[in-house]
Amino acid sequence: MIDVKFAPATLPTSGALALLVTEGGILSGVGALADAATNGAITRAFLAADFVGKEGQSITILAPGAGLNRVVAAGIGPEDKVTTRISEDAGGLLASLLTKEPSATLAADRVSGANATAAALGASLRSYRFDIYRTTLKPEDKPKFAALTVLSDSPEAAAGWPAAAAIAKGAFITRDLVSEPPNVLTPIEMATRIEKLRDLGLIITVLDEPAMKAMNFGALLGVSQGSANPARMVVMEWKGGGDEKPVAFIGKGVTFDTGGISIKPAAGMEDMKWDMAGAGAVVGAMAAIAGRRARANVVGLVGLVENMPSGTAQRPGDVVTSASGQTIEVLNTDAEGRLVLADVIWYAQEKFDPALMVDLATLTGAIIIALGHEHAGLFSNDDELSQALLAAGASVGEKLWRMPMGSDYDKQIKSDIADMKNIGGRPGGSITAAQFIGRFVNKGRPWAHLDIAGTAWATKDMPLSSKGATAFGVRLLDRLIATREAK
């Protein structure tokens, strides 16, 4: 994570300078001082490149003079319409232009303090790289960007940074987990890494297979039984809200998913290392919430398993008994995430009696067919919770789209020999998966299921992340809690 500092607005005399430019391309503040010091080189470059400060525009100017070796600028659109979201994306864009610079100065003196903080957060998020396994990179190919000084005369800018930094660190924890290869990040290894977050003040409990067997976790353990790597469930508690009921976040943590006996095609199976991205998001969100000392009670629970084919693996046609006592006919062992969630959700209710529950899972390919990679699917039994999640997602750029649920879809998972079956056929596949999970939610308990299969991993660079793990869900969950704190 880059080192971010804040300082009064003065013109730097060396290094790299980053500018936030409103539409019209007219420089002011530190930008105008830099233009004057370089005898108008910045303005001339703007004119030559037709850079006018439109949102998403960018330009790089090399060696403009006055001791500056590089000036980069990002457009933020009309001055009266600049938001923290726009500022974050601009900060991320600037960071992508500064990879060859060890440090830079960001002139944020012409935007609000909140927008200055947001730009710094965007730059920090975009600077993330996962390259611990790259051993032959040449020095010139390695990114150098490590420090950012943000120029702002607003006290709000620096005051907002500790919370923003905690959020960035939470996102980085998630990206690290999701990016790790599956031979490294087994259920036990992931549980071990989560335990290290006790330093943030989280109360962490790890349940092993004997403990889960004693609690009749037949659905979760059925998924795990084909693997040589034992399952774990990890509970993370943050107690910052007095006597109020906690909010519960639950994550699917399949550290590798072959599909089991219902094995997946070989092409693309390597992507299934990130089938634990829902659990990863819960871990990152809990780290962010604890890191900024949220005035709320929150509990995060993750079920960690590996889904493998073997002589001991679960078979299509098996019937398992969940912790709730409901029986499940397993017709497809590749529909395993919902089995993991069934037991963890039930435990969350029985142990913590939460005010509401949100689960996250890379659950179905069907949600990608429905929504592509732009939105995650939102399924819920509660309109108020749905609206809160939609608003939280929109405010941080982690977009959701509410999908339908109902009794007609529920009929598709009716089993001939058990209480339910774990698949409902191809029609409405993401919906019937949500209907399945909903059967383990107590009546009257506000609950939402986020299917993040299309948003957990990016195949191209994004405004706030490079190709790879996005940490989708971390900021959304944190914003949901922050909004509740504000009330």
CATH number at 309 reads 3.40.630.10
Using the predicted structure, report yes or no on whether residue 137 has a pLDDT greater than 90.
no
Q: Does 92 share its domain with 205?
A: no
- Tell me the C-alpha distance between 147 and 419, whole Å: 57
Domain boundary among 152, 173, 205: 152
In a domain, residue 100? The reply is yes
Name the residues annotated as catalytic: 264, 338
Average pLDDT over residues 213-225: 98
Q: Does 105 share its domain with 8?
A: yes
In a domain, residue 159? The reply is no
Percent of the chain with pLDDT over 70: 100
In a domain, residue 158? The reply is no
Q: Does 198 share its domain with 261?
A: yes
In a domain, residue 37? The reply is yes
- Close Cβ partners of 145 (under 8 Å, ≥ 6 residues apart): 2, 95, 98, 99, 100, 101, 102, 103, 104, 127
Q: Does 74 share its domain with 182?
A: no
CATH number at 113 reads 3.40.220.10
Would you state the structure tokens that stand for residue 411, as one six-digit string? 């009929």
Q: Does 65 share its domain with 170?
A: no
DSSP letter assigned to residue 229: S
**Phi, psi values for residue 75, rounded to 5°:** -80, 140
Q: Does 170 share its domain with 93?
A: no
Domain boundary among 117, 152, 187: 152
Q: Does 133 share its domain with 169?
A: no
Q: Does 140 share its domain with 245?
A: no
Structural domains in the chain (count): 2
Q: Does 133 share its domain with 82?
A: yes
Q: Does 72 share its domain with 192?
A: no
* Residues 485 and 294 sit within 8 Å (Cβ to Cβ): yes
Average pLDDT over residues 452-459: 98
Chain segment 322-380, per-residue pLDDT in tens: 999 999 999 999 999 999 999 999 999 999 999 999 999 999 999 999 999 999 999 99
Using the predicted structure, report yes or no on whether residue 263 has a pLDDT greater than 90.
yes
Q: Does 201 share its domain with 83?
A: no
In a domain, residue 26? The reply is yes
* Residues 273 and 156 sit within 8 Å (Cβ to Cβ): no
Q: By residue range, what is the domain housing residue 444?
A: 164-486
User: What mean pLDDT, rounded, does the chain reach?
Assistant: 97
- List the beta bridge partners of residue 103: 147
* Residues 25 and 52 sit within 8 Å (Cβ to Cβ): yes
Domain boundary among 152, 180, 195: 152
Band (139; pLDDT cuts 50, 70, 90): confident
Q: Does 78 share its domain with 197?
A: no
